[in-house]
């Protein structure tokens, strides 16, 4: 087939132009001479052909157009004298071919430099350089250069995005979230970040949440990603508190096939990823007038265990100093008292069984013992050897799109199906836990004689064994997810000045979860409670009913091999499922009903109706809490919302003395939720350019977030939190009044709070929740001249009535520190302590609207096309930076107690990206760098730590692309210098959890090839 070589600018018709559309009369054809990009934007709006323009058209001046002309004639008139001419390619594309020399450097393909594109943040089709809200775009070339197999990791290059759940940070989500990739804008949480696909909502991926799983979108399926920061609820509805991430998919070529294959491997010889994709398109299928395009995608991402990297598995963590003051960062840290052989306490002295279970010896607390449940070396648990640096993912996706022009009207439909499989592995079952203790009596025949003698001498009949049950394997989950979305829409003109759009969408996401490495706790107790038959001498289960059911005795003494039949008796792999369904109907009218002296007024009015349904179906044993893991209740919920919306942009002044352009914009949305009632969102903005090169913009918005289904209806669910007991002997003097109040609770000055051991927490939903309210202010300035553009934006977001759980640590501290008596009483009432030891055995928390989040900062973006060309190729330089000056969370706005999270992982105050690209017609060379500012590894500043901050980190990537006649070859190297995550505790050295900002697999080399037929 024939392909046009476009050396200048290509206009891709998003609303395809037909011959009749191209020749239709443009009655309002008055377009003044101005920069060509603006003139083409006006032409696009008046013809209904939306356009994507390369940035270098801003340096070209258009010709003036007057009188009633056809769309094609008006376009020719605009281009007169510019050095370009227009040609329609088939039914979908208009290309501008350079027909005269121009002072621009050698051109590159649209994927190889930043573009001015129709952007998220408005429904009026604004270009990114005219958008009232700050927009950051990640194009195809930048995605390729990132050399990542998942979008969430690629998006961490954008400073406004923090890691949410991802393949690096979801391994312990055994109740359903393992293997998801959810992103977090501005550190406000995944629930306050709205993700769109082609400008439309997508069904969520986890029960009770609207958050979109980016693993349902293979990177090769993506054309570009637009990140609009600032409250976007007025334009796109709830959840857009921090902003909107709009993922624009690639559609198949017209009458062609693109075949792509990639393969990547780390410099350690592991972490393979492989993928193939096929995109295709056919216009006017069998003369039907329908254009058909689609794609097939398959890739696999291999899991990587922490044991494969020395920096991730040497036991580096923090431990209390020998002096008892502060924490030090040292390798070889183990957690006590659980041990693979099993340990126990008699008379205050802890012993550990020998590996073969024949005897016991004193427990080895290593080089340095700690009362925080940690020690260096010796016995105990080395948890890092069980961790995963990246979860594995197998993904298959398919999409199909149909488009047809019926006269001046557009019809479209699409279907997308994605199946993913992930397998996460965590630690084995570790006892004691809140589910059960492993108790052995003196009659247990597996106990060594010396241990039985010590028990009898101490006058006790049983001991609780602290044990790592490796025999059952590692606890984890296998998640089979299937996501299906279907959309249909129509659009076209209404009269001379309006266009309509109608859309309908349906989506369903299902997660079939198999939890592995578990035991039925009741059966496990029966199995370990063994006795010797007085007649036969055989070892059997004590419980007669269990014996009749086939109980096999389990030997937990020592770390040797165990009877597989004994493991099988209590081992379980419960299955559960989560399903989310979404239905959307909407429509809008966009037009230019009035014309002011400075230009036409653009208006959008519309409506939307949406229904969300979510349910979780747990197995019976999970619902009653009969496994090692916390109880996971079943629940179901739904809500509906009906909305009306409007948006307006009015040019007040144009081309006056001191005013090149002055425009005001406003948007509003009124919503009625079946759960929380009425909610309103709006934004207002001012755009002022004193001269064409300099622009100021200001925006104020009110965004809303209605509570999601999980926050409203989830039943009591159990989890864990790492907290510090304020009454521990090392902490009771940190606040003046604390010691006396700890004494009143019956906790002595020598009390051991077992800090460093996770405590069980019961979380509950709340149907009485109200909608969150968020106010955002943005002030920006941009300067553009020649090939350079610099943008600076300052932003401030405040979320009131924030929905969340009370901070567990704040609850513990309030119980003994709060000045307000009722507040102390309420906090103490949420804490359960063991009657004998006084140690925390549980916390309770319920979703509430009492929180507040406040964040502010500055974004900087700059790009420059260097002229003249260097060595025959265009050179593009870019830089972006985000400075977070404040990120504060107040768990209870009425009582204060603000916690500052800025400068604490995963929220370093500074993050920046630098890039340089050289590109000729055949070859592209690319360098990208990420800078991650220093951040504290914990927010508890009352405890001195020897290495509390990460230090400034940089990571560099290199890429090259060679274009042949009908193929492109790519070589990308991510993390060229094999830089590791910071060497700090709290899993920072592994690059997981809060440290998922940092590459944690080392150098990655990726090869790719694309062929076009």
The candidate with the shortest Cα–Cα distance to 998, out of 894, 868, 905, 859, is: 905
Instruction: Give me the residues paired with residue 159 across strands.
Output: none
Q: Give the pLDDT band of residue 126 (cuts 50, 70, 90).
A: very low
How far is 371 from 901, CA to CA, in rounded Å? Answer: 27
Give burial (CB, 10 Å; 0-12/13-18/19+) of 193.
Answer: buried
Yes or no: say if 135 and 120 are a contact pair by the CB < 8 Å rule: yes
The DSSP annotation for 380-406 comes to SB-GGGG-EEE-EEEEEEEEEEEEEEE
How far is 469 from 556, CA to CA, in rounded Å? Answer: 8
Yes or no: say if 16 and 403 are a contact pair by the CB < 8 Å rule: yes
Q: Which residues of 370-406 are buried (b: 16+ CB within 10 A; e: fewer)?
A: bbbbbbbbbbbbbbbebbbbbbbbebebbbbbbbbbe
Altogether, the residues listed in the chain come to a count of 1013
How far is 718 from 923, CA to CA, in rounded Å? Answer: 55
In this structure, what are the phi and psi dihedrals at residue 783, rounded to the nearest 5 degrees?
A: -130, 135
Percent of the chain's residues with pLDDT above 90: 60
The candidate with the shortest Cα–Cα distance to 148, out of 163, 167, 173, 170, is: 167
How far is 832 from 558, CA to CA, in rounded Å? Answer: 33
How far is 142 from 138, CA to CA, in rounded Å? Answer: 6
3-state secondary structure of 643: strand
Once rounded to an integer, what is the mean pLDDT over residues 852-864?
A: 95
Yes or no: say if 222 and 135 are a contact pair by the CB < 8 Å rule: no
3-state secondary structure of 538: coil
The per-residue pLDDT for 631 is 82
Give burial (CB, 10 Å; 0-12/13-18/19+) of 66.
Answer: exposed
The three state secondary structure string of 74-134 is HHHHHHCCCCEEEEEECCCEEEEEECCCCCCCCCCCHHHCCCECECCCCCCCCEHHHCCCC
C-alpha distances in Å from residue 840, one per residue of 508, 760, 940: 41, 9, 20
Which residue reads 């025999």 in tokens? 471
Half-sphere exposure of 801 toward its Cβ, with a 13 Å CA cutoff? Answer: 14
The per-residue pLDDT for 771 is 94
Q: Give the pLDDT band of residue 49 (cuts 50, 70, 90).
A: low
Cis check for the bond before 868: say yes or no (omega within 30 of 0): yes
The pLDDT tens digits of the residues spanning 550-595 come to 999 999 999 999 999 999 999 999 999 999 999 999 999 999 999 9
The pLDDT tens digits of the residues spanning 309-361 come to 999 999 999 988 888 778 899 999 999 899 999 999 999 899 999 999 999 99
The per-residue pLDDT for 906 is 92
Query: Which tokens hold the place of 982?
Result: 């910071």
Residue 922: CB atoms within 10 A of its CB come to: 11
The whole-model pTM stands at 0.83
Q: Give the pLDDT band of residue 724 (cuts 50, 70, 90).
A: confident
The per-residue pLDDT for 193 is 92
The pairing of beta strand 759-764 with beta strand 840-846: parallel
Instruction: Give me the residues paired with residue 10 across strands.
Output: 95
Which residue reads 């949440």 in tokens? 209
The pLDDT tens digits of the residues spanning 25-36 come to 444 456 766 777
Asked which of 459-463, 802-806, 872-876 is least confident by mean pLDDT, the reply is 802-806
Yes or no: say if 315 and 335 are a contact pair by the CB < 8 Å rule: no
Residue 916: CB atoms within 10 A of its CB come to: 15
The candidate with the shortest Cα–Cα distance to 722, out of 756, 753, 754, 762, is: 756
In this structure, what are the phi and psi dihedrals at residue 215, rounded to the nearest 5 degrees?
A: -70, -10
The per-residue pLDDT for 20 is 39
Q: Give the pLDDT band of residue 471 (cuts 50, 70, 90).
A: very high
Angle at 170 between CA 164 and CA 174, to 5 degrees: 135
How far is 621 from 634, CA to CA, in rounded Å? Answer: 11
C-alpha distances in Å from residue 815, one per residue of 42, 97, 759, 787, 869: 63, 73, 16, 60, 68
The candidate with the shortest Cα–Cα distance to 858, out of 777, 925, 802, is: 777
Averaged pLDDT score across all residues of the chain = 86
Once rounded to an integer, what is the mean pLDDT over residues 864-871?
A: 90
For residue 67, is pLDDT > 70? no
Half-sphere exposure of 118 toward its Cβ, with a 13 Å CA cutoff? Answer: 20
Q: What is the DSSP letter of 669?
A: E
Half-sphere exposure of 223 toward its Cβ, with a 13 Å CA cutoff? Answer: 15
Decide which of 99 and 642 is more confident. 642
For residue 942, is pLDDT > 80? no
How far is 130 from 127, CA to CA, in rounded Å? Answer: 5
Decide which of 155 and 53 is more confident. 155
How far is 541 from 537, CA to CA, in rounded Å? Answer: 13
How far is 520 from 625, CA to CA, in rounded Å? Answer: 9
Percent of the chain's residues with pLDDT above 70: 87
Query: Which tokens hold the place of 625?
Result: 């809490």
Give burial (CB, 10 Å; 0-12/13-18/19+) of 532.
Answer: middle
3-state secondary structure of 874: strand
The per-residue pLDDT for 76 is 72
Asked which of 91-105, 229-243, 256-270, 507-521 is least confident by mean pLDDT, the reply is 91-105
C-alpha distances in Å from residue 228, one per residue of 52, 126, 160: 18, 13, 10
The pLDDT tens digits of the residues spanning 137-178 come to 888 888 887 777 788 888 988 999 988 888 888 887 777 788
Q: Give the pLDDT band of residue 78 (cuts 50, 70, 90).
A: confident
Yes or no: say if 808 and 760 are a contact pair by the CB < 8 Å rule: no
Instruction: Give me the residues paired with residue 800 across strands.
Output: 773, 852
Yes or no: say if 733 and 801 are a contact pair by the CB < 8 Å rule: no
Q: Provide CB contacts within 8 A for 859, sequence distance 6+.
A: 134, 136, 159, 160, 229, 791, 792, 793, 794, 795, 880, 881, 882, 883
The side-by-side arrangement of strands in the sheet containing 343-346 is: 343-346, 349-353, 360-362
For residue 757, is pLDDT > 80? no
The candidate with the shortest Cα–Cα distance to 742, out of 810, 797, 813, is: 813
The candidate with the shortest Cα–Cα distance to 516, out of 468, 479, 461, is: 479
Cis check for the bond before 684: say yes or no (omega within 30 of 0): no
The candidate with the shortest Cα–Cα distance to 353, out of 471, 472, 444, 465, is: 465
The per-residue pLDDT for 62 is 76
The DSSP annotation for 285-349 comes to GGGSSEEEEEEEEEEEE--EEGGG-GGGSS--EEEE-TTSSSEEEESSEEESS-BSS-EEEETTE
Q: Give the pLDDT band of residue 51 (cuts 50, 70, 90).
A: low
Yes or no: say if 20 and 404 are a contact pair by the CB < 8 Å rule: no
The per-residue pLDDT for 611 is 96
How far is 241 from 237, CA to CA, in rounded Å? Answer: 9
For residue 921, is pLDDT > 90? no
Question: Quick one: which H or E segment has residue 39?
Answer: helix 36-47
How far is 830 from 507, CA to CA, in rounded Å? Answer: 39
The pLDDT tens digits of the residues spanning 479-494 come to 999 999 999 999 999 9
The pLDDT tens digits of the residues spanning 952-971 come to 999 999 999 999 988 999 99
């Amino acid at each position: 087939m024939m392909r046009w070589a476009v050396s200048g600018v290509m206009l891709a018709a998003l609303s395809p132009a037909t011959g009749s559309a191209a020749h239709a009369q443009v009655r309002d054809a008055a377009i003044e001479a101005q920069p060509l990009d603006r003139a083409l934007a006006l032409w696009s709006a008046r013809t209904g052909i939306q356009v994507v323009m390369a940035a270098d058209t801003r340096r070209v001046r258009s010709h003036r157009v007057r009188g009633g002309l056809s769309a094609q004639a008006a376009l020719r008139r605009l281009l007169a004298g510019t050095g370009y001419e227009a040609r329609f390619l088939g039914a979908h594309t208009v290309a501008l071919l350079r027909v005269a020399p121009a002072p621009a450097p050698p051109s590159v393909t649209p994927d190889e430099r930043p573009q001015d594109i129709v952007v998220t943040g408005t429904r009026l089709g604004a270009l990114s350089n005219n958008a009232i809200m700050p927009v950051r775009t990640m194009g195809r070339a930048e995605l390729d250069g990132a050399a990542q197999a998942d979008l969430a990791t690629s998006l961490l290059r954008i400073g406004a995005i923090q890691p949410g759940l991802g393949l690096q940070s979801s391994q312990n989500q055994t109740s359903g979230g393992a293997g998801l990739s959810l992103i977090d804008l501005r550190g406000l949480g995944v629930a306050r970040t709205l993700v769109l696909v082609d400008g439309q909502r997508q069904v969520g991926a986890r029960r009770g949440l609207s958050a979109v799983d980016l693993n349902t979108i293979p990177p090769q399926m993506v054309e570009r990603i637009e990140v609009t920061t600032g409250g976007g609820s007025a334009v796109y509805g709830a959840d857009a508190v921090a902003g909107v991430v709009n993922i624009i998919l690639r559609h198949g070529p017209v009458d062609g096939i693109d075949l792509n294959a990639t393969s990547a491997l780390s410099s350690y010889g592991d972490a393979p990823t492989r993928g193939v994709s096929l995109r295709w398109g056919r216009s006017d299928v069998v003369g039907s007038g329908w254009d058909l395009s689609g794609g097939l995608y398959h890739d696999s991402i291999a899991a990587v265990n922490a044991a494969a990297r020395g920096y991730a598995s040497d036991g580096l963590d923090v431990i209390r100093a020998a002096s008892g003051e502060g924490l030090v960062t040292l390798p070889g840290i183990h957690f006590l008292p659980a041990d693979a052989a099993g340990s126990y306490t008699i008379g205050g002295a802890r012993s550990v069984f020998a590996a073969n279970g024949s005897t016991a010896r004193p427990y080895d607390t290593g080089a340095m013992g700690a009362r925080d449940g940690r020690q260096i070396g010796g016995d105990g648990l080395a948890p890092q050897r069980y961790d995963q640096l990246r979860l594995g993912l197998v993904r298959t996706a398919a999409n199909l799109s149909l488009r047809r022009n019926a006269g001046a009207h557009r019809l479209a439909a699409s279907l997308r199906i994605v199946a993913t499989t992930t397998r996460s592995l965590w630690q084995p079952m570790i006892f004691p836990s809140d589910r059960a203790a492993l108790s052995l009596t003196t009659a247990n025949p597996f106990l060594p004689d010396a241990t039985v003698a010590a028990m009898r001498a101490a006058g006790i009949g049983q001991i609780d064994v602290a044990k790592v049950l490796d025999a059952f394997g590692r606890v984890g989950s296998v998640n089979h997810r299937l996501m299906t979305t279907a959309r249909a829409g129509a659009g076209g003109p209404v009269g001379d000045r309006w266009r309509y759009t109608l859309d309908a969408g349906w989506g369903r996401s299902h997660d079939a979860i198999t939890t592995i490495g578990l035991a039925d706790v009741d059966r496990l107790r029966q199995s370990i409670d063994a006795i010797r038959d007085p007649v036969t001498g055989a070892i059997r289960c004590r419980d007669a009913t269990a014996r009749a059911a086939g109980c096999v005795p389990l030997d937990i003494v020592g770390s040797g091999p165990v009877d597989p039949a004994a493991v099988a008796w209590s081992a379980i792999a419960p299955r559960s499922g989560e399903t989310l369904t979404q239905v959307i109907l909407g429509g809008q009218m966009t037009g230019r009903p009035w014309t002011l002296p400075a230009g036409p007024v653009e208006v959008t009015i519309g409506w939307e109706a949406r229904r969300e349904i979510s349910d979780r179906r747990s197995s019976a044993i999970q619902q009653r809490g009969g496994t090692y893991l916390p109880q996971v209740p079943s629940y179901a919920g739904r809500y509906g919302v009906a909305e009306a919306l409007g948006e307006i942009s009015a040019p007040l002044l144009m081309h006056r003395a001191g005013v090149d352009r002055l425009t005001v914009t406003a948007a509003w949305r009124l919503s009625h939720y079946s759960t929380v009632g009425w909610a309103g969102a709006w934004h207002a903005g001012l755009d002022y350019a004193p001269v064409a090169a300099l622009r100021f913009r200001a925006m104020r918005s009110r965004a809303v977030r209605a509570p999601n289904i999980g926050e409203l209806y989830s039943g009591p669910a159990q989890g864990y939190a790492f907290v510090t007991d304020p009454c521990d002997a090392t902490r009771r003097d940190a606040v003046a009044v604390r010691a006396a109040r700890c004494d009143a609770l019956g906790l002595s000055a020598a009390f051991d709070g077992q800090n460093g051991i996770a405590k069980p927490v019961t979380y509950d939903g709340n149907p009485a929740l109200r909608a969150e309210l968020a106010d955002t202010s943005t002030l920006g300035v941009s300067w553009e001249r020649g090939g350079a553009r610099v943008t600076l934006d300052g932003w401030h977001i405040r979320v009131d009535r924030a929905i969340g759980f009370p901070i567990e640590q704040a609850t513990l501290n309030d119980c003994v520190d709060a000045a307000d008596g009722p507040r102390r009483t309420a906090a103490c009432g949420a804490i359960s302590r063991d009657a004998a030891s006084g140690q925390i055995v549980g916390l309770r928390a319920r979703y509430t609207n009492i929180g507040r989040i406040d964040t502010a900062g500055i974004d900087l973006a700059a790009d420059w096309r260097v002229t003249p060309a260097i060595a025959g190729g265009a050179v593009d330089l870019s830089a972006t930076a985000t400075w977070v000056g404040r990120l504060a969370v107040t768990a209870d706005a009425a009582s204060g107690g603000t916690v500052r999270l800025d400068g604490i992982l995963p929220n370093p105050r500074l993050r920046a990206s630098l890039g340089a690209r050289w590109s000729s017609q055949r070859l592209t060379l690319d360098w990208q760098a990420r800078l991650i500012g220093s951040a504290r590894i914990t927010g508890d500043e009352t405890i001195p730590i020897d290495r509390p901050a990460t230090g400034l980190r940089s990571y560099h990537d290199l890429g090259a692309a060679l274009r042949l006649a009908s193929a492109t070859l790519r070589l990308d190297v991510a993390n060229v210098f094999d830089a590791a995550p910071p060497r700090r505790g709290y899993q920072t050295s592994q690059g997981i959890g809060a440290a998922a900002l940092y590459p944690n697999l080392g150098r990655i080399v990726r090869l790719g090839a694309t062929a076009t037929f």
